[in-house]
Amino acid sequence: AQSVTQLDSHVSVSEGTPVLLRCNYSSSYSPSLFWYVQHPNKGLQLLLKYTSAATLVKGINGFEAEFKKSETSFHLTKPSAHMSDAAEYFCVVSDTSGTYKYIFGTGTRLKVLA
């Protein structure tokens, strides 16, 4: 069965410093992986996706993620945090065994300090 683990439930960074949100996945198949962002009381917005093309994926708002098969990881990074990045971030693995159902991590809440 496929699963995804977000290693930190909360992350705090100072504005202008790098962001690292960690995600590990478990999959018997070549996975598709996504990062979504959710601002308070809002829906989820797609940040970026990995679907077996380049392993370094660039997304919106300066975020990027690197697919590392050997480490079964798909960590989200940003060189310099902005106050508007404060939100909850979800790592998602798509079940590529046939149904392509989304399997969500439990989320990481990012706090950006002024």
Partner 1 sequence: DGGITQSPKYLFRKEGQNVTLSCEQNLNHDAMYWYRQDPGQGLRLIYYSQIVNDFQKGDIAEGYSVSREKKESFPLTVTSAQKNPTAFYLCASSIRGLGTGAAKNIQYFGAGTRLSVL
**Binding positions for partner 1, rule: CB under 8 A:** 9, 32, 34, 36, 41-46, 49, 51, 90, 94, 96, 98-107
* Contact status, residue 95 vs residue 2, Cβ threshold 8 Å: yes
Please identify which residue in the block is written with the tokens 């697919």. Answer: 67
One-letter amino acid identity for 31? P
Phi, then psi, of 108 in degrees rounded to 5: -125, 125
Minimum separation from the CB atom of position 46 to partner 1 (A): 7
Minimum separation from the CB atom of position 31 to partner 1 (A): 9
Q: Would you say 86 or 102 has its CB closer to partner 1?
A: 102
